[in-house]
Amino acid sequence: MEDVTDVNSSGVLPGRLPLPVLQENFLDAIPPLTVRQAATEAERCLYCFDAPCVTACPTAIDIPTFIQRIAQDNLRGAAESILSANPLGGTCARACPTETLCEQACVRCAADQAPVAIGQLQRYATDAFFSQAEVPPLFMRKPATGRQIAVVGAGPAGLSVSHYLARLGHQVELFDSRAKLGGLNEYGLAAYKMTGDFASREVGWLLSIGGIAARCNHRLGRDFSLSQLVAEYDAVFLGLGLQAVKPLVLAGEDAGPVMDAVDFIAELRQAERLDQIAVGRSVVIVGGGMTAVDAAVQCRKLGAREVTILYRRGPSQLSASLEEQRWAQINGVNIRCWASPKSLLAEQGQLHAVRCAVTAERGGQLVETGEYFELAADLLIKAVGQQLGPDDLEGLVLQDGRILTDFEGRTSHPRVWAGGDCRFGSRDLTVEAVEHGKRAAFAIDAYLMGA
């Protein structure tokens, strides 16, 4: 991945690699299974009774059943088994850490064998279903109930709750602050994880059940209030995500190119041409999670020569999975732990270096050792976590900056539910957000229908 721009150039520039090279760099990180590979892998499944992989899946997909249907070449049946439990099963097959969920629980692991490739098989089945010229509906709506529910946020949680509520016969008004539906699936996943238009095709199928009216470019707290929704609808679901980025508060933070990782990833996902995305020669990413890895690897694929992830604690405390860490290193990303950025060194608006403090853990506390170093950089990307934005939550009880709910997602307001990343206790997983939406949909239905 060599930079083909002028060797004397500096700063943050687009087109560091030719477009054909960029297009090749952003192909699927994990190629889909072939027909023969899928059949072979499906035959490895033992079709366990009371399968532990099902228990490990937050949405409780009947994994043995859908794999058996793949083995029988019944791909529609396999997709139906997946999507009945998880209407975003295609995205989850790409984005979820299956290696630490269903695959880690596979009984073959107990015999020191490789687990069945559940995630890849799930993608194989859902890809086959969504690749049809006209994707058919799988489920029928119940008779209309006459009840209306407002759903705020069209990410995984909001899409899930909308789909299940529509299946139950309710009318849903789905609001989202962006121009496209999908939330994280459309804007927040690395381009090499979600290639092409799969996210929009999945959303299109999800809405095709009927009973869901989408309202894009509508933001809570700007275009409407929570009290208005409560007054106008029978119930409200909040799937707001975490849209505000936590600050770094660095000295000189305004002196040079500094970006939020979520904005960088969203820009890349929505770009018409990859050679329009600017990147530096030497990029520093601050953070230790999946978002940091996604941003770092994509910088390398765009042509950055040096990309370093800075993390203030030790390797064992990185929130990015081991698989993600390996993926970063395979793609030439340096991961430097025990380092905390303190200031940016810049001249005339151009960033030259990041000054960092060496950290250590002493007595259970993170401390700075008094040692410093400078790391060359012309772009700094922040990936230190997100928090609730300035949305109008009108008295809902929060805990640690997220909405407090019960198990079914009900908030402190009796007609308001919440789910996904904005909900307290969330693990920030797509598949968990889908389950939040599904669980809340059945709870809302029971509340409205008097069950």
Average pLDDT over residues 193-201: 90
- Give the DSSP letter string of 245-311: EPP---BTTTSS-EEEHHHHHHHHHH-S-GGGSEE-SEEEEE--SHHHHHHHHHHHHHT-SEEEEE-
**Domain 148-243+388-449 class?**
alpha beta
Tell me how far CA of residue 136 lies from CA of 130, 141, 162, in angstroms: 9, 14, 18
Tell me how far CA of residue 153 lies from CA of 77, 239, 425, in angstroms: 30, 5, 18
For domain 35-130, which CATH number applies: 1.10.1060.10, 3.40.50.1460, 1.10.10.10, 3.60.21.10? 1.10.1060.10
Residue type present at position 126: T
Same-fold call for 13-27+245-385 versus 35-130: no
- pLDDT classification of 7: cutoffs 50, 70, 90: very low
Output the pLDDT for position 195.
87
The 3-state DSSP class for residue 91 equals helix
Q: What angle do CA 397, 399, 400 make, to 5 degrees?
A: 145
Output the pLDDT for position 137.
82
DSSP state of 143: P
Output the pLDDT for position 348.
80
pLDDT tens-digit readout, 416-429: 999 999 999 988 89
CB contact burial 247-280 (16+ within 10 A = b; e otherwise): ebebeebebbbbbbbbebbbebbeeeebbebbbb
The CATH homologous superfamily of the domain defined by 13-27+245-385: FAD/NAD(P)-binding domain (3.50.50.60)
Annotated domain spans of the chain: 13-27+245-385, 35-130, 148-243+388-449
CB 159 within 8 A of CB 203: yes
Output the pLDDT for position 1.
56
pLDDT tens-digit readout, 206-248: 999 999 999 999 999 899 999 999 999 999 999 999 877 777 8
- pLDDT classification of 8: cutoffs 50, 70, 90: very low
CA end-to-end span of the chain: 60
Of 295-299, 330-334, 362-366, give the lowest mean pLDDT range. Answer: 362-366
pLDDT tens-digit readout, 10-44: 579 999 999 999 999 999 988 999 999 999 999 99
Average pLDDT over residues 305-320: 95
What does the alpha-carbon distance between residue 85 and residue 82 come to, in Å, rounded to a whole number?
A: 6
pLDDT tens-digit readout, 70-107: 999 999 999 999 999 999 999 999 988 899 999 999 99
Residue linked to tokens 């770092």:
296
